[in-house]
Chains A and B, each alone.
Chain A
Amino acid sequence: MSTKMDSIWSKLDRKSTAIVEFTMRQYRTRISTWVVMGASVVAIFLMLLFYIDAMNTEIDAIDNDGDSFDTDGDGYPDGQERLEGTNPNSDGSFPSWVEPDPPEKWINEDDIEWDNLASGENYVGQDDDGDCLSQDTSSQRDSNDNNIDCDIIVTIDTINGTIVVEADNNVDEDPDEDKYGKEAGHRAFILGIGKFGIVFLLGIFLPLFLATGLIREEITEGTIHYMLAKPIARGEILLYRMLGYLGITWPFIIGLCFILSIITGFTGPGDGFFRWADLGVWMTIAWAAMMVSLVYGTIFCGFGIIWKNGVILAILFAAWELGMTFVAILSGGDSSIRYFSVIGWGMIIVDSGVAVCWPDNWQLIEVGLWGGGQGEANWLGEMEYAALPGALPLQTFSGNSGLGVSEWIAFVISTLVLLFQGIISWFIGQAIFKGKEVN
């Protein structure tokens, strides 16, 4: 067994390394390779400029509860007067025993503090500014009737995927927009550029320009005859050419994601020196893009073998995949049709990676969507909360696998599905190539 394996391998890899090396050198000599890669880098770094600009722009703080105003004009902000027990509406009543606070102290003074939420009812929240605890009656302090003063009930229904927030008055009502917006915006940028820019656009444009002609150009130019007139099966030629293609595209994808993770890791918000958790998200984005470009590459190369204008088939396929990208991103994991695409599985890789590296991501979204509980009831009587900045984009670009299994298993399953798609595509491609008459 082992000697036979040795012998098959030792001769196969001589041929495979020859074709892989040759293919990679061929890519390096082509201008189109550099144009495609250069254009991708330029496009992504332009997006990065917007991101860096956003990260360096302060988001205007909003005084949600209005207690930074000095209604009676006695020099003390309303919030401070309420806390000290004086009347904020009378200029004769003020806490003379303390210095008046600057009004900024009473903006963003009651941030949202939710612990790790679990399924079922959670009692969370903390009244930092005392405007709940200082209220007179216990029914005012416990308007959600759970016998705990000044808290928030967050009810999570994992079966239906709904979350209901019932807060006592004036608890966590004035969050820090800038802090939240930076964090959510940072994550939304990574997921947006990662899912759409890298996994889809890069994952489909690299194969479109680099893989479609992998065999087709050789046939058109007649140079395929040098390869076909050798003791090597056509299926092997296809396989090794594909490996050469991956030898160029995969390092490019990994390198690009690594550079992006470094830049965003240092410029992103946070107390730490570097956002280490982001590194994992970037690497799952890179992995998804690698898998997706493998499948697209094999399919497009096959299209090139079938028809001399195979790029037309590739573009039609890309249109389907573009639709599936929107379905997969916008449905947030609730759509089943995305399973009939390549990109849908790529998105599952990213989503499961996010769930592992940012376990608090979904909670961050819910916090932002509640946004301190300000809002209006609609005609059905349901509250429509004003979301904090960044919460909606983050919600848009986040998703879940929808597979009903743990994140790690979803990651493995989606990777295996993509590998399987790639192998099937290669198998069909080599069958077509074998039966192809090359003139």
Chain B
Amino acid sequence: MPDMTQHGKAETQQWQPVANTPVVMFDRVSKTYGRINALAGVSIGISGGVTGILGLNGAGKSTLFKLMMGKIKPSSGAIRLFGTDPWKNPAPYSRVGFVPEHEKMYDWMTALDFITTFARLHGMTRDEATKEAIRVLSFVSLEEVMHKKIGQYSKGMRQRVKIAHALVNDPELIVLDEPLQGCDPLARTTIMNVIKELGAMGRTVLVSSHILHEIERITEQIVILHRGRVLALGNLHAIREMLDQHPHKILLDCKNPRGLAKDVIDLEEVTGISFVNPEKLLIETKHLGEIHQKLPQIIVDSGQIVTGIDNPDDDLQSILMYLTGGSP
């Protein structure tokens, strides 16, 4: 009989993951759209820890994730999630949490509603789903506003709702597509901490980004995609070393750049300062990582209001320049 009251656990034949296989496995996977090679012969196997998927826009990050999430079919090669082909069988998603990059959400729902509803698609009862939803909302520090409509949330809060929604089934694999895009610095820090925490809990986390220093603050294990191929795979440190020889630029939007400049110029990492226009301050450095660590404190101490931080000279571009010998 249909279980309309939805009490207790559902007794179903569970899908079982294949033993001794990587969580995610791509075996010579290619995906072509007409004559465009979105992904060409990619082979990777990932299990445990946080992995950053780096690449410029159009490098194949989204294609990789779409293939992994069974949204598109590979042109050739095999994809396995816990040993199962996700295009043919959606069962592995009971162990997966996915954070899509799309900004559109169900704005008319409250965060609690949204997460509870979609938790029920994992086969949870209403009660279980509500309990789990509250748990994940407090994990991303949104439990105080969970009864508000998602439409009233800021960009960063929306991202956190999406992440919470992906965690509701306590997944072993968490896939985050550009989770930091468009977030304010505070939300970035919160989200980064959440991701790091998940990695520390032994989950397999995949994070895509086109900004190197974001990934750098989360993990050292990276995959660099370029033009549909895996360009580099492994520890970031070695690659990082090479990069320090290149100068980097940081662009700050603020009301009074000159006031901020005098605090920044004292830092030994800073090699140059210029004023692009009356509300922008450009800092040049060879040590991007350190500057990004010190900058928030300097801004707070100076009492200036900074409305935006940007890296116009994208450092991933520099890595790619280096790795491809000057033809990104």
Q: A residues near B, CB below 8 A?
A: 3, 6-11, 13-15, 17-19, 21-22, 25-26, 29, 221-223, 225-234, 435, 437-439
Contacts and interface: CB of A to CB of B under 8 A. Distances in A.
A229 B3 contact: no
B26 interface: no
Closest 5 CB pairs of A and B: A222-B102, A18-B120, A10-B3, A229-B98, A230-B121
Interface in B1-30: 1-4, 6, 10-13, 15
Nearest to A19: B121
A18 B121 CA distance: 7
A19 B106 CA distance: 14
B175 to A, nearest CB: 8
Contacts of B104: 221-223
Contacts of B66: 438-439
B100 interface: yes
Contacts of A13: 2-4
A230 B118 contact: yes
Contacts of B328: none
B120 A15 contact: yes
A439 B123 CA distance: 26
Interface in B263-293: none
B3 A15 contact: no
24 contacts: A3-B11, A7-B12, A10-B11, A10-B12, A13-B4, A14-B10, A14-B125, A15-B123, A17-B6, A17-B120, A18-B117, A222-B103, A223-B102, A226-B106, A226-B118, A228-B69, A228-B70, A229-B98, A231-B121, A231-B122, A232-B90, A435-B73, A437-B71, A438-B72
Contact of B6 (A14, A29, A232): A14
Contact of A229 (B96, B120, B124): B96
A14 B120 contact: yes
A9 B72 contact: no
B142 interface: no
A11 B10 contact: yes
Interface in B44-87: 66, 69-73
Contacts of A234: 90
A231 B92 contact: yes
Given A10-B3, A225-B102, A437-B72, 8 more contacts: A6-B11, A11-B123, A13-B2, A14-B3, A22-B117, A226-B100, A227-B118, A232-B121
B105 interface: yes
Contact of B71 (A7, A19, A225): A225
Contact of B11 (A7, A14, A18, A25): A7
A231 B2 contact: no
Contact of A439 (B12, B72, B105, B118): B72
B322 interface: no
B93 A230 contact: yes
A6 B91 CA distance: 19
Nearest to A225: B100
B69 A9 contact: no
Contacts of A438: 66, 71-72
B94 interface: yes
Given A229-B69, A230-B93, A233-B90, A9 B3 contact: yes
A14 B124 contact: yes
A437 B32 CA distance: 12
Contacts of B165: 226
Contacts of A17: 4, 6, 120
A225 B102 CA distance: 9
Contacts of B100: 222, 225-226, 229
Nearest to B105: A223
B150 to A, nearest CB: 11
Given A228-B71, A230-B93, A230-B121, A223 B11 contact: no
B108 interface: yes
B3 to A, nearest CB: 4
A231 B117 contact: no
Contact of B2 (A9, A18, A223, A437): A9
A228 B71 CA distance: 8
Contact of B94 (A9, A14, A231): A231
Contacts of B73: 435, 437
